[in-house]
Amino acid sequence: MSEKTTAEKPATAQATKATLQYDGKSYDLPVHVGTEGERAIDISKLRTSSGLITLDNGYGNTGACQSSITFIDGERGILRYRGYPIEELAERSTFLEVAYLLIQGELPSKTQLESFTQETTIHTMLHEDFSRFFGSLPKDAHPMPSCAAAVGALATFYQANESDEEVRRSVIRLLAKLPTIAARSYKHSLGQPQIYPSNNLDYCSNFLRMMFAVPCEPYHVDPLVARALDVLMILHADHEQNCSTSTVRMVGSSRANLYASISAGISALWGSLHGGANQEVIEMLEQIAASEGSAEKFLTRAKDKNDTTRLMGFGHRVYKSYDPRAAILKKLCPGILARMGGSSQLLDIAMKLEEIALRDEYFVSRGLYPNVDFYSGVIYKAIGIPVNMFTVMFALGRLPGWIAHWLEMRKDPQFRIGRPRQIYQGATKRTYVAMDQRS
Ligand code: CMC
């Protein structure tokens, strides 16, 4: 039986409309049902018929689009890319295979993967004029804004017009060049010469070499480390309408080009409540280790509403159970630590925090479990990735997801520029007061 025929049957449609009663009037609203049975009331025409808008701070319960890329069931801890469970992809596929799946919609055949890999490999080099670009950045620049700026700058090197062929080439260029940009940002921050890509290496090995090799010295990539990185990137590759992906869609909805949209996504990912959390998790673990403070003491602060401390790497807008990505990473940690010969102190602290939190009423009642960032930093640190590169690693992994969403949005027949409404709560009309009469 072929893989495709194993797909489960889509859920059958249920009620196709909902009725809203307001101010003595009744409004029929269409209901859309997804293939996994999720239901949404379509309020897109509600304002025209009733003058009402909907209000949903942080878009916690608002569907912004219909998408066929990634399915998450936060209650049951399920994550699937194009129908394939994340556990199977992490175990059996490679990052470039997953990138192809997300972008093209199907797993590649052997020939398709070879040609995709070949194309991605031959575009890894950056234009030499990028030397001046990096040279103009401060030495201590954080690599995240350096990457966001460099990706935006790609649009100045390449004509990012709207034709399908040009977009296809932009997709390949981004996948090929982001690891080079990321490693270059890091080398720049060290004041070391850049290491050019080596196109006889696979995607992750090439990146590791550009990060850690020094000129004129042999560098050996440990296949176990390269594979761990590949798995990490697969786990980060997409997560439906998260903050950075929604940003990519929002920016792209104005018909901004792919480079500009991805650059905006990188900036959105940087924040500590999103991708920046992986850096904050390791800093939190190191802080606990350095102060010889106990996990219990830290959790007391994280629960205190008068203290801004949060248990970083815990909680998620969508998952109200264990994030399946965190479960895979937790299992990966001991093997990597054993191979690298480093201390397991931070992993021990993380596991202790998790153990106590999952027995604590505060975390249990709010459905707060480890998310993908809780264990990823332990692995990054063990394989020598510097802490300020952690969020860049997240961006490298998330790139195919951003691209897939940007492409899906462009082809969506329902496509419209993103433009939310608001409820205005400011001053009502008042008359201008001259400067000398203001109190
Ligand atoms: N530590 C302590 N309390 C928390 C935490 C936490 N990590 N996360 C949520 N809470 C509490 C929060 O104070 C609130 O309590 P109450 O109902 O008493 O006011 C309740 O749980 C609900 O939290 P929320 O902030 O309203 O939930 P949200 O869906 O808006 O935020 C979140 C989700 C991920 C931003 C949040 O859980 C958080 O700040 N976590 C720590 C940062 C983190 O790990 N971020 C990475 C997310 S996963 C990777 C990614 O996709 O970027």
Residue whose CA is closest, atom 27 of ligand 1? Answer: 317
If one residue of 232, 235, 273 were mutated to test the ligand 1 pocket, choosing by the most ligand atoms within 8 A of its CB, it would be 273
Residue whose CA is closest, atom 34 of ligand 1? Answer: 316
CA of 396 to the centre of ligand 1 (A): 24
Taken in order of first residue, the domains within the chain and their CATH numbers are: 3-54 (2.20.28), 85-274+387-409 (1.10.580.10), 277-382 (1.10.230.10)
Question: Is the CB of 364 within 6 Å of ligand 1?
Answer: no
The pLDDT assigned to 2 comes to: 40
The pLDDT assigned to 54 comes to: 96
Backbone angles phi, psi at 44, to 5 degrees: -60, -25
Cβ partners under 8 Å of residue 3, min gap 6: 107
- State the pTM of this model: 0.92
Taking CA atoms, 328 is separated from 65, 236, 424, in Å, by 29, 12, 45
- Between CA 79 and CA 396 the distance in angstroms is 19
The pLDDT assigned to 179 comes to: 98
Local mean pLDDT, 10-residue blocks, the chain (439 residues):
49 76 96 94 95 95 96 96 98 98 98 97 94 90 94 89 89 98 92 92 97 90 95 98 98 95 97 90 91 84 93 93 95 91 86 94 96 92 92 97 97 93 97 95
- Between CA 78 and CA 76 the distance in angstroms is 6
CA of 79 to the centre of ligand 1 (A): 19
Among 188, 238, 373, 405, the one annotated catalytic: 373
Question: Is the CB of 282 within 6 Å of ligand 1?
Answer: no
The pLDDT assigned to 62 comes to: 96
CA angle 426, 423, 419 (to 5 degrees): 120
In 3D, which of 403, 325, 313, 376 has the Cα closest to residue 80? 325
